[in-house]
Amino acid sequence: RTAELDSICLKAEVIPVITIDRVEDAVPMGRALVEGGLNVLEITLRTSCALEAVKRMKKELTGASIGVGTVLTPAQYRQGESAGADFVVTPGTTEALYRYGVESPVPMLPGVATVSELMTGWQYGYRRFKFFPAEASGGAKAIKAFAGPIGEARFCPTGGITLDNADEYLKLPNVMCVGGSWLTPKAMVEAEDWAGIKKLAQEAAERFHH
Ligand code: 3PG
């Protein structure tokens, strides 16, 4: 599990967190991000076309890793599995999700914001976490502090991260990558400005290349 998540997260400095309003946008948007150099994408289950978007991206964007995000329940986790997702991301955790994730063939990156949530995940064998909402939950300072009691845990922080503060996180040894919605601004998506989105991806990929 940990190795699987490492192979996904370590190839991504930055994971675009994407909400798809129009399913036709999924493939061109994904292609722009991949061509820009970001090939790990998280599609949030915040819209009704999200699962269809994941299916289309899996089919068309070979070589990219496509995850489902905003997974709140084991039922949604199962839907992500059926859509072909490579990984599952949750904003927070429940015992039910932790248990389900251990059995699932698709690895889960559970969302935590506190040491207690981290400890619960730790008991179930999880070693890789999303730190959410990162900026509101103490930012890079909090992740730095987690390294004291639980040195083996690694994080993908998201929530309030942009090109300007990503580096504060990425320079920490227990941060694998960062995630955020800044790579797919609503106005650009509405205008189908895929070249603009590719440029944002390129900027992030070049700046944060390992
Ligand atoms: C997430 O679910 O990871 C967040 O919605 C992304 O946060 P951001 O919009 O602040 O980048």
Q: Is 32 in the pocket of ligand 1 (CB under 6 A)?
A: no
Which CATH code fits 2-207? Answer: 3.20.20.70
Q: Which residue CA neighbors atom 3 of ligand 1 most closely?
A: 158
Distance of CA 60 to the CA centre of its chain: 20
Ligand 1 pocket test, pick from 38, 40, 88, 132 with the greatest ligand atom count within 8 Å of Cβ, gives: 132
Q: Which of 158, 161, 178 best tests ligand 1's pocket when mutated (most atoms within 8 Å of CB)?
A: 158
ipTM higher than threshold 0.85:
yes
3-state secondary structure of 130: strand
Residues 100, 74: contact at Cβ < 8 Å? Answer: yes
- Indicate the domain borders of the chain: 2-207
Enter the pTM of the model: 0.96
Question: Tokens for 172?
Answer: 């920490």
DSSP annotation of 117 = H
Query: In which residue ranges of the chain is pLDDT below 50?
Result: none
The continuous run of DSSP H or E covering 178 comes out as strand 178-180
8 A C-beta contact, residue 157 and residue 169: yes
Q: What is the pLDDT of residue 190?
A: 97
Contact between 87 and 122 (Cβ < 8 Å)? no
CA–CA dist 183, 39 (Å, integer): 13
Strand partners, 120: none
Q: Whose CA is nearest to atom 8 of ligand 1?
A: 159
* Predicted pLDDT of residue 210: 61
Extract the tokens encoding 98.
């932790």
State what percent of residues in the chain have pLDDT above 70.
100
Cβ atoms 104, 110 nearer than 8 A: no
State the pLDDT at residue 145: 97
What is the DSSP track for 62-109?
A: TT-EEEEE---SHHHHHHHHHHT-SEEE-SS--HHHHHHHHH-SS-EE
